[in-house]
Each structure stands twice: as C-alpha cells, then as structure tokens.
Amino acid sequence: MKSVLITGATGDVGTHLSRELAGKYKLRLADKRPLKAPKGQTFMRADISKMADALRITKGVDAIVHLGGYSVEGPWDAILKANIIGAYNVFEAARRNGVKRILFPTSNHAMGFYRRDQTIDHRSYPKPDSRYGVSKVFGEALGSLYADKYGMEVFMMRIGNVNPKPIDKRRLSLWFSPRDLAQLVSIGIDRPGIKFEIVYGISGNKRAWYDNSNAARLGYQPQDDSEIYAAEVLANEKPSGDAIAEAHQGGVFCSAEEVPNPAAASKTTKKPVQRRSRHA
C-alpha cells in the first residue's frame, strides 16, 4: 500500500479527502492545528512555513497531496507565509527527501478573471482574481520548475469547490463532490508516467466553465453532476448587486479584499479536531 502525506489535513478538503481515501493508502496527516487521527492513520503537527517541519513530514512517503495553506483571499503576510513560502518548502523538502510524486491543489481562483461566458481548458493562461489566486499561480509555476528541472511528477488540480452539495449558483459550475475528489486524487497518485499535468478539480457538471478533457484523457470519469441540485440552488439564490463578481468565474474574489477564512473560527479551538474513522 502506498504511503501518502496529506498536508492541511484539518481543513475542509483535507477532511473529505482523508475520509474518502481511508483504507486505500497509508495516510500520514499533517497540519499546524492539532488533529486526532482515525485508527490506521498517523498525524504529525507541523508548520510548513518552517523548512525543518516540511523536511520532517515529507520523509519516507510515496506521494504528497499538499493541501496546506491559506485557502481564501486575505492579508498578504498570511498568504506569503502559508502559500508562497509554505509551497516552496514542501516542494523543496520533497525533492531533498526523494519524494517524486506531488499533487498540488491550485484553484479556480488562479483563473477567476475569465468571464462566465468563456470556456477554458488546461492550456489557458492564468488570470488570477486575488492575492490568493496569484499564490496558486506561483504554486503552478513552482511545480512546473520542479518537474522540468528535477524530474518530479507533478499533478496540478485547479479545484472548484469541494462540498457534499453545491451551495450557490456559481458553485453549480464549480462543484466537486468528495467522491469525485477522491477519484481524481487517486489518478494523480497512481497513474504512471505523469510529468506535469494540469486538470480541473470539478465534478461532471453540465454548467462547467471548463473543458476538462485533460482529466478525461488521464482516466477521470466523474460520477456526479451538480445539475440535480440546480432547481433547489437557483430558487434560493439572491442577487448580490455585485456586477464584477457576477460576470466572472471567481465571483466575489474578483471584487473583495478579504473573504472569510473558514480556518479562522477553529484556530481558537484548543482541543484537537476529532475525526471519526469511516470504519468506526
């Protein structure tokens, strides 16, 4: 069984992913916040803005899914530390520890200033919508460098929105169900011959703004489509009055200076995040 490190394991995407992949890989979870790992998984507390921590957690694994970082638009200092320095440390630590395969969740916000009437694919050039989006473009460039210069195997997923259900009109185009996330990540871990690939991390949504043929070429067959939720979601949608947000794929990231950070609320939590094993 392959051993896989998931950084940022206490976050939303990390929580869905480690639950979905339990039993398929030997999971090592890492985060700067505490976590009580389910049976059969291990947890290492680490701050990836420190190279020593990045070296410690990446040692001896077969693949890394690097989810750790600041996950929305916010203050530059926080993004610099978590997403620029943190991403560099994880790629560099992987190289030094001889870990070849790395999966990086870039984001729809690397491309957020494309309009909603445009369809883009893996060859489209970045149009970030925020400092956060810029940090994701940095991660894509870093991955490209480490693939070309050091022969690392790099799988870039421009993730839409991971949620059990799509939560609004914009997310009908970007929805990524947890089981489709697990399928795409498994392709990134197991598919032989990956050098550097960019795919979109979304389900098979009828309303997608992406041509995800590169993911299909690599074997991705999404099981979900947001369309079954469309009527319910659209019935609850209220006009925002934000013309820039509504015209562009990145939504409010295109107009706001800050977006609420989902990690902020739990930062004050002293107790480790309790996670129930799917086998419990």
Site of interaction with ligand 15L (CB under 6 A): 71-72, 107-109, 161, 171, 174
- What the block records as the tokens of 121 is 């694919």
170 contacts 226 by C-beta, under 8 angstroms:
no
Whether 146 is a known active-site residue: answer no
Cβ(122)–Cβ(110) below 8 Å: no
d(Cα 140, Cα 157) in Å, to the nearest integer?
A: 9
- 32 versus 109: smaller Cβ distance to ligand 15L: 109
Among 25, 70, 114, 132, the one annotated catalytic: 132
Q: Which is nearer to ligand 15L, 72 or 99 (CB)?
A: 72
* Nearest CB to ligand 15L, comparing residues 99 and 161: 161
d(CA 83, CA 241): 31
Q: State the minimum distance, in angstroms, from the CB of residue 92 to ligand 15L.
A: 23
Q: How far is the CB of 72 from ligand 15L (least distance, A)?
A: 5
**What minimum distance in Å lies between the beta carbon of 73 and ligand 15L?**
9
- Least separation, in Å, of the C-beta of 192 and ligand 15L? 29
Contact 212, 200 (CB under 8 A): yes
Over the range 2-37, which residues count as b (16 or more CB within 10 Å of their CB) and which as e?
eebbbbbbbbbbbbbbbebbbeebebbbbbbeebeb
Nearer to ligand 15L, 154 or 174 (CB): 174
DSSP string, 225-249: -GGGGHHHHHHH------HHHHHBT
